[in-house]
Amino acid sequence: MTDPISSDLRASDLRSCLHGLWLPLIAPFREGALDEASLRRLVRHYTALPVNGLILAATTGEGLTLTPKETQRLVFAVRDEAGARPLPVCLGLSGSNTAALLDTLETTAAWPIDGYLISCPYYSRPSQRGLELHFGALADRAAHPLALYNIPYRTGVNLGNEAMLRLAMHPNIVGLKDCSADRNQSLDLLRRRPNDFSVLTGEDAQYHEALTDGADGAILASAHVETEAFARLQSLMAAGERDAALACWQSVADLTRLLFSEPSPAPIKYWLWRTGLIDSAEVRLPMTEVSAELATRIDREIERRSPHPSPREERGEGEAAITAL
């Protein structure tokens, strides 16, 4: 295990860098274990692209299936491999036991991360006051800043804007990944938030819409693919080039639907495996690998977007994989 990296080597203050395109990095597995070789290959690949930050061990990273030791290995490997371009890194956390999360914050305090992305408690459906007290307790204890994650269709509870705005005044709560699925709620929050509080959409299919409404960026699983196009959309919107931004969005909008046509991150992992970035498309239960029908659709889309053979195709591994699904 790499020794903990001191706080002065962390990338930057999260409040100043929570904008633009963030990638919720997948966790590659092979034969049931964390595949560190593929993980390091992914980090080298994405740090060379216009990505503003990485989220580790969250939903797309199958964080709920990782052991604490695997999560630690993942974080340290990513920070070690980032090298000359140490992207800001947030660790994804979730849970409905406030005391247990406080213990996790203690455990990870010395890790080389820049912050946490913490989702609302799931299943227990606390009140708005309960949500405020929960996140307030975490923010009081955390050694790193917090970005909150509101995704009621997964957790069963919606963090309303009144509670969110009060939490936004906490000096250690710096932003929100917004998956409220309610455009009116999102617009109201964008209008009323503090100036130094960032709102990033986590809805891949609403990326262009969210930027149009004034979001500061996005945390997008789909951006594992065509990363430069997703980043370019952000730049075009910031430059006021709305027509060019819309054309850019239209070039990737169908991709977001394809990559979420079966439970994520299986389609993304399959794409990354077929294009040679990871050594296996393996996911952990209860997730399952993509169907043969979707594998064929993804293969066709890869061919359409990249007509040259991938490293895996050149080794003749493609057809065997489809047959095995």
189-209 per-position pLDDT tens digit: 999 999 999 999 999 999 999
Ligand-binding site membership of 60 (annotated): yes
- The mean-pLDDT minimum among 7-11, 253-257, 285-289 falls in 7-11
What whole-number percentage of the chain has pLDDT above 70? 90
77-91 per-position pLDDT tens digit: 999 998 767 899 999
166-186 per-position pLDDT tens digit: 999 999 999 999 999 999 999
pLDDT of residue 83: 73
Taking alpha carbons only, the member of 250, 254, 294, 299 closest to residue 273 is 299
pLDDT of residue 86: 81
- Average pLDDT of the segment spanning 320-324: 43
CA distance 263 to 113: 28
Pairing of strands 29-30, 33-34: antiparallel
Residue 320 pLDDT exceeds 50: no
- Average pLDDT of the segment spanning 126-137: 98
The backbone torsions φ and ψ at residue 144, rounded to the nearest 5 degrees and listed phi first, read -125, 155
Residue 1 pLDDT level (bands cut at 50, 70, 90): very low
What whole-number percentage of the chain has pLDDT above 90? 88
CA distance 131 to 299: 43
**Whether the Cβ atoms of residue 270 and residue 224 lie closer than 8 Å to each other:** no
CA distance 292 to 276: 19
CA distance 196 to 194: 6
Pairing of strands 89-93, 115-119: parallel
Burial 232-247 (b: 16+ CB within 10 A, else e): bbbebbeeeeeeebbe
CA distance 68 to 57: 10
Q: What does the block give as tokens for 243?
A: 């027509």
pLDDT of residue 314: 52
CA distance 230 to 249: 8
182: number of Cβ within 10 Å: 15
Residue 8 pLDDT level (bands cut at 50, 70, 90): very low
Residue that wins the pLDDT comparison between 9 and 297: 297
Torsion sign, CA atoms 59, 64, 70, 71 = positive
- The mean-pLDDT minimum among 11-15, 53-57, 106-110, 174-178 falls in 11-15
221-266 per-position pLDDT tens digit: 999 999 999 999 999 999 999 999 999 999 999 999 999 999 999 9
**Whether the Cβ atoms of residue 235 and residue 249 lie closer than 8 Å to each other:** no
Residue 41 pLDDT level (bands cut at 50, 70, 90): very high
DSSP 280-314: -----TTS-PPPHHHHHHHHHHHHHH--SPPHHHH
Domains of the chain by start residue, with CATH = 7-242 (3.20.20.70), 260-325 (no CATH)
C-alpha distances out from residue 83 to 76, 80, 253, 312, Å: 12, 6, 32, 27
Cis status of the peptide bond prior to 265, with omega within 30 of 0: yes
166: number of Cβ within 10 Å: 14
Ligand-binding site membership of 59 (annotated): no
Residue 325 pLDDT exceeds 50: no
Indicate which residues carry an active-site annotation. 149, 177
- Average pLDDT of the segment spanning 4-25: 72
- Average pLDDT of the segment spanning 128-147: 98
Taking alpha carbons only, the member of 125, 120, 128 closest to residue 146 is 120
